[in-house]
Structure 1
Amino acid sequence: MKKRSQRMALLQDLAQRKKREADQFLADSQARVTQGEATLKQLEQFLVEYQQQFQQQGQGGMAVGQMLASRAFIEKIESSIRQHRETMKTHAEQLRQVEQYWRQVYGHQCAMKNLTERALGQERSEAEKQLQKELDERSQRLRPPFI
């Protein structure tokens, strides 16, 4: 049968793999949130610029059809921004859940590392005690002739 520390080392390896996967999940989730924020900022910037352009054109006069088309386009941009904000809420919630999962996995991995180290220490201590016991027994069997 394998030593306890060897069995624990296998479990620790599994915990490390799971943590690496959790690290990747966390990085992906953070990237989605960051990318979403950047996209939202771009959409809002585009909306502001288009509205300013629309106002400038409106001051100079424009055809009703062009005005209606521009207003419809602005409404589509605003709708896209609303949808994107909803998506951002979902991504933020997912990030929160992934962070919670990552903390659990990290804690488990640390616990497995500590248990493995403790098992190794215990085995070393037991080996040292056994060696000392053997040395004591030898020393008692091999007494010098002058005693």
Structure 2
Amino acid sequence: MMKRAQRLLPVVDMAQEAEREAAAKLSQYQQALQHAQEQLQNLQQYRDDYQQQWIDKGQTGVSGQWLMNYQRFLSQLEVAIEQQEKSLAWHEHNLSGSQKIWQQAYARLEGLRKLVQRYREDAQKAADKQEQKLLDEMAQRLMAQQTRRN
């Protein structure tokens, strides 16, 4: 019975390695997502600051050239923000997929660990039962020997 548990140990080791790799990948995707979120926030903050410049300068009056440059740059910022939002969505998708892969790997590992534990418990019960049987047989022999002597 214990041999069944021993035979599964390499499979458990492989499942553990797969779970570790999935967890590492998940961590990488979480970091990439966080970085993408920070970049988006920075771009949005930069745009907000730039728009505040417009408000400040607009009160004192601006030239047509300044206004055209402002609008062109603001348009470029909006494109950059849209691209970063798409990048963020892509990172969120990757993270979601990675979470599912890790959850499956973790569940498989836990299932294998429980199976090995059950095999060990079954083997221990069988060994205990065998030992009790031997003790009972020895007790019967002793009693039979003592009854013959008397």
TM-score (norm 1): 0.87
The aligned counterpart of 2:117 is 117
Task: State the shift of 1:35 in Å.
Answer: 2.2
CA deviations on 1:39-58 (whole Å, 9 max, x unpaired) are 21121111011011023223
The aligned counterpart of 1:54 is 54
The aligned counterpart of 2:76 is 76
The aligned counterpart of 2:94 is 94
Cα distance, 1:58–1:138 mapped onto 2, change above 3 Å? same
Q: Which secondary structure state, in structure 2, belongs to the residue aligned with residue 62 of structure 1?
A: coil
My pick for the range that moved more, 62-71 or 124-133, is 62-71
Q: Which secondary structure state, in structure 1, belongs to the residue aligned with residue 62 of structure 2?
A: coil
The aligned counterpart of 1:137 is 137
Cα distance, 1:109–1:91 mapped onto 2, change above 3 Å? same
Inter-partner Cα distance in structure 2 for 1:46 and 1:146: 99
Structure with higher helix content? 2
Inter-partner Cα distance in structure 2 for 1:90 and 1:103: 20
The aligned counterpart of 1:8 is 8
Query: % of aligned pairs identical?
Result: 30
Inter-partner Cα distance in structure 1 for 2:11 and 2:133: 32
Inter-partner Cα distance in structure 2 for 1:106 and 1:34: 24
CA deviations on 1:98-139 (whole Å, 9 max, x unpaired) are 111121111111101110100100111111122223333334
Aligned amino acid, residue 69 of structure 2: A
Inter-partner Cα distance in structure 1 for 2:114 and 2:134: 30
Task: State the shift of 1:29 in Å.
Answer: 1.6
Task: State the shift of 1:142 in Å.
Answer: 4.4
Inter-partner Cα distance in structure 2 for 1:114 and 1:143: 43
Task: State the shift of 1:144 in Å.
Answer: 5.9
Inter-partner Cα distance in structure 2 for 1:140 and 1:86: 81
The aligned counterpart of 2:40 is 40
